[in-house]
Structure 1
Amino acid sequence: MLIKLARLSLFNRRGTVLMTLLSLVISITLLLGIDHLRHEAKNSFTSTVSGTDLIVGARSGQLNLLLYSIFRIGNATANLSWESYQRIQNHPQIAWTIPISLGDSHRGYRVVGTNQDYFTYYRYAGQNSLQLQQGEVFSDVYDTVLGAEVATRLGYQLGDEIVLAHGIGQVSFSEHKDKPFTVVGILAPTGTPVDQSVHVTLQGIEAIHIDWQQGAPMPGRRVSAEQAVEMDLTPKAITAFLVGLNSRAATFMVQRQINEFRGEPLSAILPGVALAELWQMLSMVERLLLVITLLVLLAGLVGMTTTLLASMKERQREIAILRAVGAHPRSLFLLVQLEVLLITLASLLLAFALLFVALWFGQDLLASRYGLFIGLNPIRSSSLQLVGVVIGLSLILGCIPSWLAYRRALTDGLSVRL
């Protein structure tokens, strides 16, 4: 009976209720969205690389090295020589290495120069290996293997030719049009930056730059694609390389030896430690966003309470009549609380629906621009805890108009005011 009365009462005041509902939906969507993005971003980052013991690059901060070598964010401060890479590769404690050469792009997607060890040893999300959805791994100088998103978004199929561009901008006027690459493979989706990468051979990277100098074609010198293949395409430098060790116990020893390498200044970092430092730096931002969102939510709930308080004056006679026909004071208290609960539950349902729609349309944008692969299901233990907080706060604040209805409805409602 009370639920029906509460529903009809809200419908009778649907104009103000809809405005209150809109305010709460926006606040709750923001709260749940930030919580979901926080967890998904962390999962996306931590699942990107697995089974790699060390990442080695030119001397720089470990966060910078982690971001550009694994997440394709930012740029390297310098390259490391091929000779240094080969010397370290032959270390007795090193089981495998994956060289990485960055600096070029294709229609906004990063180009990764590497070798076949990349497809053999690279792991993500708990030791999952890279799988080909179509085709095969590159074997020729001008072969390329595309990430799943690159192939899907740009509509490429096996056998298509693509042209790489110098630099990493969305639009580039410095393209290697004379040396196109042929798509020979397309990787299965991984939910990591691998999906956004164009993979080519290290020799291919050398071939397209063989007649370039200082980031521009050399005047008066043109080397065709066929001529370049006949030349020495041994890399002169690479951007970074990943390292797998024979024994985890040797990790710190090998790291120290690489950091003290006398051939050139290098940095060897542990991916897990670098990720922990990254999240430690971002923890303050996370807490600040959560506090701001909670304040926005509190403002929305206070607005709902204010609306209910304002409606009490209009409903004094209605509530007084309910008292006169025998409604217990506790029933009036529960009636207003039920209205608060119905508004809150409707706001939560609409907020989850709105968040799902926003994630559906924003998933590709976050993946293409920021390398974040966000799941569409926002329901998790933390979000359910937030739902409990929202309901609890709404019922606590709803006690104010409920108490006023309990205390003042009869005396104020039966007196006719002129």
Structure 2
Amino acid sequence: MPISMLLNIARQSLLYRRGSMGLTVAAIAVSVFTLLGIEHVRHAATQSFNSTISGVDLIVGPRTSDINLLLTTVFRIGSPSQNMSWRSYQQLKDHQSVAWTIPISLGDSHRSFRVVGTESQFFKQFQYAQSRPLIFTQGHTFSDLYDVVLGAQVAQELNYKLNDKLVLTHGLAAISFHKHDAYPFRVVGILAATGTPVDNAIYVSLAGLDAIHQPTTHHNSEQSPLEPASISAVMIGLTSKLATFKVQREINAATSEPLTAILPGVALSQLWQMSRGLENTLHLMARLMLCASLLGLAAMLLASMRERRYELAVMRSLGASSGTIFILIEIESLCVSLLGILLGSLSVLAVITAAHDWVMVNYGVDIGLTTVSLHYLVTPFYVLFGAMLTGVVPAFYGCLKVR
């Protein structure tokens, strides 16, 4: 029997049973949507996480583990056990292979949000995602000793606006009895949302942060800039990527002060590996959903065999062989699967297109179509192969019924 005739018979048969077929297609589409969605988000989240900090070649801090230094400086989790001296920072800044530096000083907070002491260079050099720069939605960087710039999440939750005053507190506790009431800061800038830890921090100048901790009279912007005795860490950009490992070895082997230099990308990858258990669980759930929908496809085809007993008998009387009946049922199985794959794939693409900007702003994950992985393209073939396997049972059953 010509394949075109088999395709036409399969189409007419599926249209006749469009109610049960529609439910099966929907079940497969949901499974494909879940499987592809999880894989796409996982791949995009991995890329976005690994680029939480972009363009920084090295992060240098006091001697500690790579993960601990990364958590402290980039994610503001925990507190540095000790600081690095200002003298060491100056030596790094003057290194011939160093193009720019971003000093980081931690320790204070404001209403549970971390305060980061830094310099204006931070807003020019720090990048995230695929080399995206920080953008001011309002205001500008520091221009006075007691200026403060807010991350997007801080400004939103605390409802701060430009020129509002705020007071820093010593330490990281939610309730502190040591407030720097004598030195209020003025909001001069608010950053655009990035979906990264940048959104959850408050940024002040190193000089301003040091001024509020000095046991002297009130400082103002007309006085000479203050130099802190120490800082928590420093982010470094090098003149050449080829010098990265050489400079890292020099810093780690220095004897003047024990320091640790890490590659942010490598440390981020190590940190991401800790979430592999959650990834595997999501993959397992998606695959179980797919198996359930394919079993539903087999159940639909098996349930239709009794209704189609006379139909198949007529085909046999017209000369159709058992092999033809087998191929017909397999074609129906593949057609239902193809419809489910097409509907599920188009749904994933529609959601990615519609939610891309929202996800980027709120979670910092770039789920754009540029992050489509090879697995996304291979998955439909796995689904079709599974449909062929699950279609074998009803196909054999149909052949036996019409003997």
TM-score by length of 1: 0.74
CA contact (8 A) 2:109 2:168 kept: yes
The structure 2 residue matched to 1:5, chosen from 4, 12, 20, is: 12
Query: What displacement does 1:242 show?
Result: 0.8
CA distance in 1, matches of 2:90, 2:327: 78
CA-to-aligned-CA distance 1:113-169 (integer Å, 9 cap, x gap): 211121233244555543433321112233222334544566544334455566667
Query: What displacement does 1:264 show?
Result: 3.7
Look up the match of 2:41. Answer: 37
1:296-335 map, 5 Å: 296-320=289-313, 330=324, 333-334=327-328
Q: Secondary structure at the match of 2:42?
A: helix
CA contact (8 A) 1:110 1:198 kept: yes
CA contact (8 A) 2:26 2:340 kept: no
1:256 aligns with 2:249: yes
The one-letter code matched in structure 1 to 2:175 is: F
Identity among equivalent pairs (%): 42
CA distance in 2, matches of 1:121, 1:366: 20
CA distance in 1, matches of 2:40, 2:112: 27
Q: Secondary structure at the match of 2:204?
A: strand
CA-to-aligned-CA distance 1:35-75 (integer Å, 9 cap, x gap): 12221122212333333222101212112222332244454
1:345 aligns with 2:362: no
CA contact (8 A) 1:146 1:187 kept: yes
The one-letter code matched in structure 2 to 1:375 is: I
Q: Secondary structure at the match of 1:99?
A: strand
CA contact (8 A) 1:47 1:192 kept: no
CA contact (8 A) 1:94 1:243 kept: yes
The structure 2 residue matched to 1:69, chosen from 44, 69, 73, is: 73
Q: Where does the alignment leave 5 or more consecutive residues of structure 2 unmatched?
A: 1-7
1:403/1:161 CA distance change after superposition, 3 Å:
farther
1:376/1:270 CA distance change after superposition, 3 Å:
closer
CA distance in 2, matches of 1:161, 1:294: 53
The structure 2 residue matched to 1:390, chosen from 376, 383, 396, is: 383
CA contact (8 A) 1:44 1:191 kept: no
CA-to-aligned-CA distance 1:226-258 (integer Å, 9 cap, x gap): 836599954343221112234445433432332
The one-letter code matched in structure 2 to 1:173 is: I
Query: What displacement does 1:198 show?
Result: 2.8
Look up the match of 2:84. Answer: 80
Query: What displacement does 1:268 show?
Result: 0.9
CA distance in 2, matches of 1:91, 1:159: 38
Q: Secondary structure at the match of 2:148?
A: strand
1:210-249 map, 5 Å: 227=218, 229=220, 234-249=227-242
CA contact (8 A) 2:25 2:336 kept: no
Q: Where does the alignment leave 5 or more consecutive residues of structure 1 unmatched?
A: 212-222, 412-418
CA distance in 2, matches of 1:374, 1:126: 9
Query: What displacement does 1:355 show?
Result: 8.9
CA distance in 2, matches of 1:362, 1:256: 40
Look up the match of 1:186. Answer: 190
CA-to-aligned-CA distance 1:148-192 (integer Å, 9 cap, x gap): 4544566544334455566667xx223848354332223345554
Q: Secondary structure at the match of 1:301?
A: helix
Query: What displacement does 1:351 show?
Result: 7.0
The structure 2 residue matched to 1:174, chosen from 176, 180, 200, is: 176
CA contact (8 A) 1:33 1:355 kept: no
Q: Secondary structure at the match of 2:402?
A: helix
CA contact (8 A) 2:152 2:191 kept: yes
1:228/1:319 CA distance change after superposition, 3 Å:
farther
CA distance in 2, matches of 1:278, 1:262: 28
The one-letter code matched in structure 1 to 2:18 is: F
Q: Secondary structure at the match of 2:55?
A: coil
Look up the match of 2:144. Answer: 140
CA distance in 1, matches of 2:401, 2:171: 72
1:71/1:344 CA distance change after superposition, 3 Å:
farther
CA contact (8 A) 1:159 1:182 kept: yes
Q: Secondary structure at the match of 1:138?
A: coil
CA contact (8 A) 2:153 2:199 kept: yes
CA distance in 2, matches of 1:350, 1:47: 29
CA contact (8 A) 2:360 2:367 kept: no
Look up the match of 2:122. Answer: 118
1:24/1:103 CA distance change after superposition, 3 Å:
farther
Query: What displacement does 1:400 show?
Result: 2.6
Look up the match of 2:52. Answer: 48
CA distance in 1, matches of 2:159, 2:374: 38
1:173/1:149 CA distance change after superposition, 3 Å:
closer
CA contact (8 A) 1:317 1:409 kept: no
Deviates more, 1:26-35 or 1:317-326: 317-326
Query: What displacement does 1:311 show?
Result: 4.0
CA distance in 2, matches of 1:21, 1:168: 54
CA distance in 1, matches of 2:351, 2:158: 24
CA contact (8 A) 2:103 2:234 kept: yes
Q: Secondary structure at the match of 2:59?
A: strand
Q: Secondary structure at the match of 1:139?
A: coil
Look up the match of 2:400. Answer: 408
TM-score by length of 2: 0.76
